[in-house]
Amino acid sequence: MYKGEAYITGACVIRNNRVDRDGVLLLETPQEQELTDFLRAGYDQFSGQYPKFHKMDPLSKLGWLAAEVLLKDAPLNNYPPESVGLILANKSASLDTDLRYFETVKDIASPALFVYTLANIVMGEISIRHGFKGENAFFTTDAFDPGFIAGYINQLFLENAVSACLCGWVEVMGPVYEVIMYKVELTSEKGLVFNADNLQKAGSI
């Protein structure tokens, strides 16, 4: 039974053309570099072996990359796939891709873009990559809300719906983007206790 022993066992922050994991800078590129090139640099450094990445929209690439950084050296494959949840949120939903898809409709609609005109597709891409089959939800809020995220996931723990979870914020609108993603586990290992204050602390790089 869940007794509140959930811990933040990893945190990845992607913003301002840099990638940090657990407060350590892993990648930084020039500020003037466009998002597309920054994402390619991240892919080359942290994966480089997943061709489907190149077909994803920016939202999916950002979420996928953060998950890759969090799980590369510490995967969650010691949990049954059905016990690993995925809870994400952002402000703009899939509007970044929606607008680009709308532009293609003026000529010939792009099926490749249409596939990504739902914000929760990013969760599908992460789940396919890592084999997650647990509870998942995508929320739209005005700003990252650690209290809401912590409350929602703690309820999943209380209901024994999950034993581990990736959660956080994945936002992109044009050139402006931000990812704050956490790995949370029911574990006896040392780490930050999973609560709203520590989510804020771990994501404030």
Kindly give the confidence (pLDDT) of every residue in the chain, 205 residues in length, as a single tens digit, with 9 standing for 90 and above: 455 589 999 999 999 999 999 999 999 999 999 999 999 999 999 998 899 999 999 999 999 999 999 999 999 999 999 999 999 999 998 876 667 666 776 666 666 665 665 678 899 999 999 999 999 999 999 999 999 999 999 999 999 999 999 999 999 999 999 999 999 999 867 779 999 999 999 988 6
Residue 187: phi, psi to the nearest 5? -150, 160
In the block, residue with structure tokens 């953060």: 66
Longest dimension (CA), the chain: 57
Structural tokens at position 59: 């939202």
Structural tokens at position 178: 């931000």
Cα dihedral value 191, 193, 196, 202, nearest 10: -10
Residue 188: phi, psi to the nearest 5? -95, 0
Counting every residue, how long is the chain?
Answer: 205
Domains of the chain in sequence order: 7-202 (3.40.47.10)
CA gap 174, 168 in Å, rounded: 20
In the block, residue with structure tokens 């450094």: 45
**Model confidence, pTM:** 0.91
Residue 129: phi, psi to the nearest 5? -60, -40
